[in-house]
Structure 1
Amino acid sequence: MSFPRKVFEFLKEASIAHAKWDMEVSTSIIKNRKKLLILALLCLPILAVSFAGAADMIGGKHAYAPSFYTTQIFLVSIAVGLAAGLITGCIGAGGGFIITPALMAAGVKGILAVGTDLFHIFAKAIMGTTVHKKLGNVSGKLAVAFLVGSIGGTFIGGAINKGLYDKNPLLSDMFISVVYVLLLGFLGFYALFDFFAASRAGGGGDAHGGASGTTRLASNLQNMKVPPMITFDEDLVPGGKRISGWVVAAGGCIVGILAAVMGVGGGFVTFPMFVYIFGVSSMTTVGTDILQIIFTAGAGAIAQYAIYGFVFYTLAMGMLLGSLLGIQVGALTTKVVKGIHIRGFYAISIIAGFINRAASLPKKLVEMEYLSWSPSLCSNIEFVGNIVFWVVVAIFGIWVLGKFFGNVGKLRQEA
């Protein structure tokens, strides 16, 4: 298997693992009346502000956060969360990748979009996680080493974003957009080629795909005898496996940087990193992954963004509401649609995010005087990129909702 293909499989597995966590957490909230009541109470001040017209109370233009609250932007945040939830639930991957680009496409500054997305993930993790049921599968030493690295990584990633924003807000937006262009471009086009290959093979297949097996890299890393050595999976392997704490911490640092720079939460890459790179069993990985999402997202959202005013709380709550509904509808829809169609939409939705962020770059380069194109041309390119993105997201949403409501009777019978 070629190196790009291995990277694609790794990223796809990362996306799938994070989607599974997202669906589990969302289901936990939906099925718990106390958690729903807490969510409703959290949203009451937002609705009160909306009806009272006192927008300065929460996220207002005079508040610490550099944001201006309106009813319209709150509704947009619900729509963004709904779209991400539909993609996550129906495709089983990729939904989290469109939140930050979607917020930026709606006019939210990049650093604010990242901080808000990270806070939304943290809030969802705190409200809905079932970590208490899986503590028996957590390796304490692995978790500590990884969290030392991941929390340190959030400080590095947050410092990068804040440093660029302080120097020039346009530079910060451009940096975040470039990161998403590279990631979404690579993942989206490989997913599209994968879809075409599956179509030619005539496969309906598993909508979520997924790689299997491990790599030789895990064995090589476990053979590195650099103290302190961490022992894990003692219940599965006689004497357990061993790996250097420095290796685990380095992996955590990478995850923390990605989480703080992109606002996607560390979970999207932790699972495949533990299984395929560190050689940790899936059982141990699940519990450790849940713990690290809470602490990594919390450290990034609060210590790197919230205290500096880069979290738009009204948007975070709107996205949480929308994603809870979207994930449930999307997951049910998978029972009545072909897997190959879902894989196709996965590729198209990721590419739409790529086009949106790529189309925003010329305007930013012109504003920073790095490019001499016509401002009107750049504005038109950005406009087209926004239209393509929202049209694709809207078509996907309408398709999923249409399939869901058109098969409600069948889904009730299965339930």
Structure 2
Amino acid sequence: MKLGRRLYQTMLESSMAYAKWDLETSRNILGSRRKMWILAAMVVPVILGGLAIAAPELPGILGGHKAYSPAYYTPAIFGVSIVIGMCAGLITGCIGAGGGFIITPALMSAGVKGILAVGTDLFHIFAKAIMGTAIHKKLGNVSVALAVAFLVGAGVGVTGGGVINRALYETNPVLSDTFISVIYVFLLGFLGIYAMTDFLRMRKAGGGDAHGGPAAGSAGGGKSLPERLQSKNIPPMITFDEDLTPGGKKISALFVAVCGSIVGFAAAIMGVGGGFLTFPMFVYILGVSSFTTVGTDILQIIFTAGYASIAQYAVYGFIFYTLAMGMLIGSLLGIQIGAMATKVVPGIYIRGFYALSIMAGFVNRLFALPGKLAEMKQLPHNPGLYHMFDVVGNILFFIVIGIFAVWVIGKFLTSFKQLKEEA
């Protein structure tokens, strides 16, 4: 139980660090007229192209919605992608923790194949990182040697994850969806239980700050593992944190590369940036300072998401660019609204919705599994029952996320005058 809570706390801390980067990136894009014109130039062809290919006589392999190719597109799909991106952005902005965990389950619930959802989410992350991150502001926080070793490992992990996802899809598209759903069931189930426990504990204690994160480097021998790893002299050795520790600290590049491979593998399998793993690995396993970790994490997000989305998914046709552009627009707006709404929304309620949204994602993927397993002949044939489970899971998921989004946007609109005065 203590190990599980510690793991949850470190994942929450890393998710908060990623959310801060996401908010800064969004502000960087929205605050630049040139970048807004670039974004418009990227989105306009998507809209015009969608209107142009709406003809029903297109061959199935090119535009048919029954085909597994990502070409089928309607303006409604583009609208749904904006809503999904906005909801993820609202969660990130409000909670101060990553909301990207809802994107892949939401896309799959909307009818997008799992492998397309993963590839599309990675491309959306990469596009946002490239457009919004001002790298020159962060170079002082980055150990180049750590970054290089980490990215070498991440490249190996991304390649392995991409190969597995594509191999499963080529074997059986339903098997691919099932595999991705199972991973999200375990992840969201774990996070959801602890998030709900945290919310109930805070409510019983009389509330608290929604952004109250875990305490890093707790007592009880938490640094024993980093110390052991740093004592191993396995060439090549990397020196880091010179500005914080006299003479700096040293660690083998091998250990850094191994951590990078795990992060890259998870990113390629789940369609996430990997930030929720990078932070706890750097701080609690390698012993890197939070200051250096944040800067290095920004670099790994750009290169890991870029390599995964392009080399492992785009070149094989597993990216739905329409959805990626819609999610980018929605998330840029959502994260700004969410961040401002925290000034007028009680923190305890935000934390409660956060826990509910994670649990809704868990239930959504859990209820989708029986139908997938039945299609693979692993469960008795009962399509009516499994379809009912799937529908109930989708309804519950979108109701919870929808209520959260409407509530936050409503609070933002009704308090707009107050927020404007404070600004």
TM bucket (normalised to shorter chain) is over 0.9
What is the alpha-carbon distance in structure 2 between the residues aligned to residue 314 and residue 305 of structure 1? 15
More off after superposition, 110-119 vs 276-285: 276-285
Please state if 1:134 is matched with 2:134.
Answer: no
Please state if 1:345 is matched with 2:353.
Answer: yes
What is the alpha-carbon distance in structure 1 between the residues aligned to residue 252 and residue 205 of structure 2? 43
8 A contact 2:116–2:319 mirrored in 1: yes
How far off its partner does 1:66 sit? 3.1
Q: Secondary structure at the match of 2:93?
A: helix
Match of 2:163 among 159, 173, 178: 159
Q: Deviations over 1:210-231 (max 9, x none)?
A: 3322522222221222222111
Which one-letter code corresponds to 2:114 in the other structure? G
How far off its partner does 1:180 sit? 0.3
How far off its partner does 1:11 sit? 1.7
More off after superposition, 346-355 vs 131-140: 131-140
Matches within 5 A, 1:239-250: 239-250=247-258
Please state if 1:105 is matched with 2:113.
Answer: no
What is the alpha-carbon distance in structure 1 between the residues aligned to residue 181 and residue 15 of structure 2? 19
How far off its partner does 1:87 sit? 0.6
Structure 2 CA distance for partners of 1:64 and 1:106, relative to 1, 3 Å: closer
How far off its partner does 1:388 sit? 0.2
Q: Which residue of 2 aligns with 1:61?
A: 63
TM-score (norm 1): 0.96
8 A contact 1:366–1:373 mirrored in 2: yes
How far off its partner does 1:276 sit? 2.0
Q: Which residue of 1 aligns with 2:404?
A: 396
8 A contact 1:77–1:315 mirrored in 2: yes
Q: Which residue of 1 aligns with 2:12?
A: 12
Q: Deviations over 1:383-404 (max 9, x none)?
A: 0000000000110001101110
How far off its partner does 1:20 sit? 1.3
What is the alpha-carbon distance in structure 2 between the residues aligned to residue 382 and residue 226 of structure 1? 51
Match of 1:86 among 86, 90, 93: 90
TM-score (norm 2): 0.94
What is the alpha-carbon distance in structure 2 between the residues aligned to residue 300 and residue 344 of structure 1? 33
Q: Secondary structure at the match of 2:63?
A: coil
Q: Which residue of 2 aligns with 1:21?
A: 21
For these two proteins, the number of residue pairs brought into alignment is: 414
Q: Which residue of 2 aligns with 1:183?
A: 187
What is the alpha-carbon distance in structure 2 between the residues aligned to residue 281 and residue 81 of structure 1? 32
Q: Deviations over 1:238-261 (max 9, x none)?
A: 110011111100000000000000
Q: Which residue of 2 aligns with 1:147?
A: 151
How far off its partner does 1:61 sit? 2.0
More off after superposition, 319-328 vs 213-222: 213-222
What is the alpha-carbon distance in structure 2 between the residues aligned to residue 264 and residue 335 of structure 1? 28
Please state if 1:201 is matched with 2:193.
Answer: no
Q: Which residue of 2 aligns with 1:387?
A: 395
What is the alpha-carbon distance in structure 1 between the residues aligned to residue 292 and residue 136 of structure 2? 14
8 A contact 2:121–2:271 mirrored in 1: yes
Structure 2 CA distance for partners of 1:316 and 1:393, relative to 1, 3 Å: same
Match of 2:244 among 236, 243, 247: 236
What is the alpha-carbon distance in structure 2 between the residues aligned to residue 359 and residue 141 of structure 1? 45
Two-structure CA RMSD over aligned residues (Å) = 1.8
8 A contact 1:151–1:256 mirrored in 2: yes
Q: Which residue of 2 aligns with 1:294?
A: 302
Please state if 1:376 is matched with 2:384.
Answer: yes
Structure 2 CA distance for partners of 1:208 and 1:176, relative to 1, 3 Å: farther
Q: Secondary structure at the match of 1:4?
A: helix
How far off its partner does 1:205 sit? 2.3
What is the alpha-carbon distance in structure 1 between the residues aligned to residue 198 and residue 11 of structure 2? 13
Structure 2 stretches lacking a partner, 5+ long: none
More off after superposition, 319-328 vs 227-236: 227-236
Structure 1 stretches lacking a partner, 5+ long: none
Q: Deviations over 1:356-411 (max 9, x none)?
A: 00000000011100001511100000000000000001100011011101111110
How far off its partner does 1:54 sit? 5.3
Q: Secondary structure at the match of 1:337?
A: coil
What is the alpha-carbon distance in structure 1 between the residues aligned to residue 310 and residue 51 of structure 2? 29
What is the alpha-carbon distance in structure 1 between the residues aligned to residue 25 and residue 226 of structure 2? 29
Which one-letter code corresponds to 2:63 in the other structure? K
Which one-letter code corresponds to 1:105 in the other structure? S
Match of 2:325 among 311, 317, 324: 317
Q: Secondary structure at the match of 1:371?
A: coil
Structure 1 residue ranges, 4+ long, deviating more than 6 angstroms after superposition:
none
8 A contact 2:157–2:264 mirrored in 1: yes
More off after superposition, 273-282 vs 318-327: 273-282
